[in-house]
Amino acid sequence: MDRTERIIADFLFHCRVEKNLSIHTLKAYKLDLDQFSNYLSANGKIFDVEKIDKQTLREYLQQLMEKNKIKTVKRKIATLKALFNYLEFEDRIPVNPFRKMRIKIKEPLHLPGVLTLNEVKTLIQTVYQVKQQCSDRSTYTYKVIVRDIVVLELLFATGIRVSELCNLRKLDVNIEQNYIQVKGKGSRERIIQLCSQEVTVIMKEYIDLFHPSGSHFSYFFINRLGHRLSEQSVRFMIKKYARLSGIDKDKEVTPHMFRHTFATLLLEAEVDIRYIQQLLGHSTIATTQIYTHITRHKQKEILTTRHPRGSFRLK
């Protein structure tokens, strides 16, 4: 292992042990650093952390901008910043090349897709109807329908990410006190209350079916084999019921739409954005503010269709 490899290994160890970053983030860091190393090699340079200067970083940024989406570019630059900030803090480099280097990458605004309240109601009602039509409640088919309902109810009731939902452990769900404990990005934990009686009732039925007394399964949502339910399974399930309910005619319904809808409806109900930030598990309020653009669109719709000034004309 050469010096640079040793430095990167130390950095990743620091991120895992001291910063408690997820395996997913560590893999992304490693991939980004390998790509930077390959870029340097292709341009006749060596990945020597003491010799990386502002010009090298600007040239690399330029190449990234030509070949990647803005979001990807920002992540790869953030990885390099994290590395050099760590090296500077540990006194392993004389100068941080990012010091006094201004990088402005403006990301185009993409408003997240949302469902209307009526669409959510139609979707969830459809799954409950499928449950009522299942005559034999001892079958695995019935168990799956109950699981599907709980997945949809939780996504809408809590606004959690699909990865957070699939990673829920049995111990993270406290049905007696009506809350779930969620581990989000950066291993940040948050508690979300379950405030709908209908949601807790169906969750209790799910627990009775999938986690009877003495069961040894660690994940809350499990498949036929008792393994963790995958994100892809949730996506397929939502597409199936979106098609069955007819709400997929004008949009592709995804798990993340429930998160967007959760935030948007709370904002429209005039809930303080700081509370919504906490519920969503956003590290900064800037991430949550994307939803204000959606509510401004709603505001325009309301003022256009309902403001009394639109109902009269001057002669």
For the question of residue 227 being annotated catalytic, the response is: no
For the question of residue 110 being annotated catalytic, the response is: no
For the question of residue 282 being annotated catalytic, the response is: yes
Residue with tokens 């490899």: 5
Q: Which one is catalytic: 76, 161, 228, 260?
A: 161
Q: Which of 234, 241, 22, 258 is nearest to 160 (CA)?
A: 258
Task: Provide the greatest CA pair distance for the chain.
Answer: 84
Q: Which one is catalytic: 74, 185, 211, 298?
A: 185
CA–CA distance, 233 with 146 (Å, rounded to integer)? 15
For the question of residue 185 being annotated catalytic, the response is: yes
Q: Which one is catalytic: 76, 147, 260, 282?
A: 282
For the question of residue 100 being annotated catalytic, the response is: no
For the question of residue 3 being annotated catalytic, the response is: no
Two tokens at 55? 């010009």
Q: Which one is catalytic: 143, 211, 256, 298?
A: 256
The residues annotated as belonging to the active site are: 161, 185, 256, 259, 282, 291
